[in-house]
Amino acid sequence: MLAAPAGTALVMVLSSIFAAPTAVAWMEMGPGTSTTTAPPQASARLPQLSTQEWVMLALIVGGPIVLVMLFVKGWLRPGGLKAAGARQVNGLAWWEWLMGALIPLMAAAFAQPAGMKLLGVSEGDTDSPRGAFLESACAFVPGVAVAIFLARLMNKSAPSAGLSPSKTDAPFGLAGFAMAVPVIVFSNWVGERIYTQLTGQTMPTIGHSTLASIVEYKDDPWTWGTVAISVIVAPMLEEIVYRGFLQSMIVRLTGIPGLAVVLTSAVFTWMHWPSVEGSWPALVPIAVLSLGLGIAMERSKRIGVPIVMHMAFNAVNIALAVLR
């Protein structure tokens, strides 16, 4: 999928070795600190980092290592996903896959204002925890209901496309999430460093509007309804639409799973632009996550695996933000 020349594996191994002292330096200096000052005296002691900082450092170093492992296994090589056996999506025409992706989104878009009007929720109420929950529920619940209905219907014509769940989706999804975490953390760290160097500013602690609202109103019972939507309902809708239908459409058109993963991730990331309120570095982990979800879909050939991965990602993000 994301090709690399033959020598890239060695470069990535070396980068993981040198990432540790670099990351420690950034942690100790803090954003915006000049790197041109005189170097400190050498010390044989380990850097004085907290447990949380050591965990973050391990994840940052682990990111390139995981990428090397995936490259060696062939998952990131050109044609690697296709060589492992492509999903059988020919049971439906490309436009049928496209309609499968569009109809749930249209259902959510039309149901949201209708539901809010029926429940007496005005636009001004959406800033409150109750209004925010009802706004999201009125969109995501009808959307996911339509998506599940279409997935079951389309599975009859394309039974090998991966639209049906399996008992092993949960363990495989959690394993995939565990593998993706170091890569996501590493990419987020790189994005923050680039942003700081370019702008001289630090990234906001929370870069997603829904997450910021959850943290602000975490003691309100309505907020936990929004959490349930974010952790359970939204991942189901988004994965069925993007990985289940849109990615299948591109595979149907091109026959190249890797290209389908990249193009679907581009659309997925672009759709999240309003949620990060113009802070482009916040899109970096979303893009990397999306690539991982796409790869998981093609490797496992089951929609349940990326759904579980997406659920775990949202749940961990919310937990870390609320508990910090």
Q: Are 84 and 257 in contact (CB under 8 A)?
A: no
Q: What are the backbone angles phi and psi of residue 50, rounded to the nearest 5°?
A: -75, 170
Domain extent listing, the chain: 1-29+45-78, 87-323
Q: What are the backbone angles phi and psi of residue 269, rounded to the nearest 5°?
A: -65, -45
pLDDT band of residue 45 (cuts 50, 70, 90) is low
- The distance of Cα 265 from the centroid of its chain, to the nearest Å, equals 9
Q: Are 63 and 187 in contact (CB under 8 A)?
A: yes
pLDDT band of residue 238 (cuts 50, 70, 90) is very high
pLDDT band of residue 2 (cuts 50, 70, 90) is very low
User: What percentage of the chain carries pLDDT values higher than 90?
Assistant: 57
Q: Are 230 and 138 in contact (CB under 8 A)?
A: no
Structure tokens that stand for 276 in this block: 């990060």
Q: What is the pLDDT of residue 55?
A: 85
Q: What is the pLDDT of residue 31?
A: 42
Please write the tens of the pLDDT for every residue from 141-161: 999 999 999 999 999 999 999
Q: What is the distance between the alpha carbons of residues 165 and 151, in angstroms, rounded to a whole number?
A: 10
Better pLDDT: 288 or 321: 288
Which of 99-108, 120-129, 262-271 has the weakest average pLDDT? 120-129
What's the predicted TM-score (pTM) here? 0.83
Listed in sequence order, the residues at least 6 apart from 150 whose beta carbon sits closer than 8 Å to its beta carbon are 100, 103, 104, 240, 245
- For residues 107-132, give the mean pLDDT: 91
Q: What is the pLDDT of residue 34?
A: 40
Q: Are 126 and 270 in contact (CB under 8 A)?
A: no
Q: Is the confidence at residue 320, as pLDDT, over 90? A: no
Please write the tens of the pLDDT for every residue from 62-118: 999 999 998 888 777 777 787 767 789 999 999 999 999 999 999 999 999 999 999
Residue 231 CB: number of other CB atoms within 10 A? 19
Q: What is the pLDDT of residue 131?
A: 92
